[in-house]
Structure 1
Amino acid sequence: MSRAVLERAAKLIAGADALLVCAGAGMGVDSGLPDFRGDAGFWRAYPPYARLGLRFAELADPRHFAEDPGLAWGFYGHRLRLYRETVPHEGFALLRRWGEATPGGIAVFTSNVDGQFQKAGFGLVAEVHGSIHHLQCTVPCGPAIWPAGETGVPVDEDSMRAVPPLPVCPGCGRLARPNILMFGDHDWLSRRSDEQLGALNAWRRERPGLVVLELGAGTAVPTVRRYSELSSAATGALIRINPREPEVRHGRGLSLACGAREALSAIDALLTAA
């Protein structure tokens, strides 16, 4: 990491009116979560799927809930348990502390469905692809979205298939599914995510002097990168932290080619020493 870029990043954060965190899958890697980058990375995280030759994009397909519920809930049930058991790394706490010391506070825009920011105590979070901790009807029979709560889905680790009984919709009794945007998904209920994004956009409009920290967001699914670039377009106050794709277009921001926890810790050391 460049010392000069770190110092510029720390100066931006120290002088920010507000902080906007834009996070992709790379933010969770330091907590031990897989980022599903490419088939090889996904299969390293889930060897049973490697034996079956099943790719992430094939499994994250909503049609499986109708055609093979055991396969569908095997994948999402395992992830639900993993995310529940995961402890957010110390970078989350650093971000929260910076936000508490910033006049306009801190908010989060994320494509992650793992709920790690809420677990770390963040208040205003927009989960644009939904949340594995919320469920909806597979049909769907209505607009209801409800918390998964203590719902558990046992999974056979050898076959990666869910063990019945599977979650059902309280309204109609048919199969439930996570309230997550999947590939080719026409049945995802977006109301919860739309409301979160509306609240975040209203917050952002009232804070023209915000600084954007983009963490672990790649170009394969560019939702997060686009939002961070849009949010920082007027000022260029963007800090992009990404070990593989750190480039910033047209020099409109700072670039750190490293992981989220490493970069946040290095910036915090400068802020603490100032």
Structure 2
Amino acid sequence: MSGDYRRCAELIGEADGLLVTAGAGIGVDSGLPDFRGPQGFWGAYPALGRARIAFEQIANPAAFAARPRLAWGFYGHRLALYRRTVPHEGFAILRRIGERMGHGAFVFTSNVDGQFQKAGFASERISECHGSIHHLQCLAGCHEGIWPADDFAPQIDDDECLLTGDFPCCPRCSGIARPNILMFGDWGWLSERSDAQERRLDAWLRTVDRLLVIEIGAGTRIPTARLIGERLPGRLIRINPTEPQMPPGKGVSLAEGGLAALRAIAGQLG
């Protein structure tokens, strides 16, 4: 395994730009749930388990229309959780790796938790392909505005997974707002913010000659973050304890958790 870490250090030394791609697994070392399988999801949200409500059913705009207090109980709990979570040391290691390279680092993540911004990555160098829980939009779609959720302080009955306080409201129609997140069965998501992030990522990629992708915790169930590193030119370091498989010759695969692997890589850097 030490040879793999040395090879990772070599790839870092050869690159002039770092793209960090991340799925839910990167947050595990910060104490965040990754919802792996229905039992993992229901373990994190037992009230939904008792009702046999799957992740795909609650992470759905239809849930906001049918049971808004339950839907906002789930998303409000997550919003509060992400606000108080401290990103683990691996985020700082990734920042330092990016600082070694001429074109720095960019982040592409399917996570909606805002942990990269909290860890000090520049917001203009982050692409959140599924949106952000820290932003809102009108549930009824009365206008196409997206606004920060900073003023929303959810009050939640954790045992029942229910919002007990006021809903976040649309500033135009005063109806219920929803997270600016791409959900399952979602035709109403406003993608303008994420589209602008993607355009900045594309422009940055055109400046990089020797790209290195470091992928952490991106699984195959929702493979968006996993596929980008395989499809882009350049080398790939895949960090995944349960799904480390990688195309031959693409780079290095580490069957470990994110923090442990990043610490070991950092130990090989001069």
Scaled by the length of structure 2, the TM-score of the pair is 0.97
Tell me, in whole angstroms, the C-alpha distance in 1 between the residues paired with 2:116 and 2:218: 15
Local SS of the residue matching 1:250? coil
The letter of the residue matching 2:100 is A
Alignment partner of 1:260 is 2:258: yes
Q: Which residue of 2 aligns with 1:11?
A: 10
| Correspondence list, 1:1-274, <5 A | 2-123=1-122, 124-231=125-232, 233=233, 235=234, 237-271=235-269, 274=270
* Matched residue count: 268
- Deviation sequence 1:205-226 (CA, Å, 0-9, x none): 1102111001100011111111
Q: Determine if contact 2:14/2:210 at 8 Å carries over to the other structure.
A: no
The letter of the residue matching 2:85 is T
Tell me, in whole angstroms, the C-alpha distance in 2 between the residues paired with 1:14 and 1:89: 24
Q: Determine if contact 2:57/2:63 at 8 Å carries over to the other structure.
A: no
Tell me, in whole angstroms, the C-alpha distance in 2 between the residues paired with 1:25 and 1:64: 22
Tell me, in whole angstroms, the C-alpha distance in 2 between the residues paired with 1:96 and 1:251: 26
Offset, 1:228: 1.1
Deviates further, 106-115 or 144-153: 144-153
Offset, 1:96: 0.7
Offset, 1:268: 0.2
Local SS of the residue matching 1:63? helix
The letter of the residue matching 2:227 is R
Tell me, in whole angstroms, the C-alpha distance in 1 between the residues paired with 2:22 and 2:178: 24
Tell me, in whole angstroms, the C-alpha distance in 2 between the residues paired with 1:88 and 1:164: 28
Q: Determine if contact 2:4/2:252 at 8 Å carries over to the other structure.
A: yes
The letter of the residue matching 1:97 is R
The letter of the residue matching 1:224 is A
Shift >6 Å, 4+ stretches: none
Offset, 1:159: 1.1
The letter of the residue matching 1:38 is G
Q: Determine if contact 2:246/2:253 at 8 Å carries over to the other structure.
A: yes
Tell me, in whole angstroms, the C-alpha distance in 2 between the residues paired with 1:97 and 1:253: 20
Local SS of the residue matching 2:61? coil
Structure 1 gap segments, 5+ residues each: none
Local SS of the residue matching 1:195? helix
Offset, 1:46: 1.7
Tell me, in whole angstroms, the C-alpha distance in 2 between the residues paired with 1:252 and 1:11: 14
Offset, 1:48: 2.2
Tell me, in whole angstroms, the C-alpha distance in 2 between the residues paired with 1:256 and 1:179: 33
Scaled by the length of structure 1, the TM-score of the pair is 0.95
Tell me, in whole angstroms, the C-alpha distance in 2 between the residues paired with 1:198 and 1:136: 21
Offset, 1:245: 0.5
Percent sequence identity is 56
Local SS of the residue matching 1:249? coil
RMSD after superposition: 1.0
Tell me, in whole angstroms, the C-alpha distance in 2 between the residues paired with 1:112 and 1:157: 22
Q: Determine if contact 2:29/2:88 at 8 Å carries over to the other structure.
A: yes
Local SS of the residue matching 1:238? strand
Tell me, in whole angstroms, the C-alpha distance in 1 between the residues paired with 2:263 and 2:47: 35
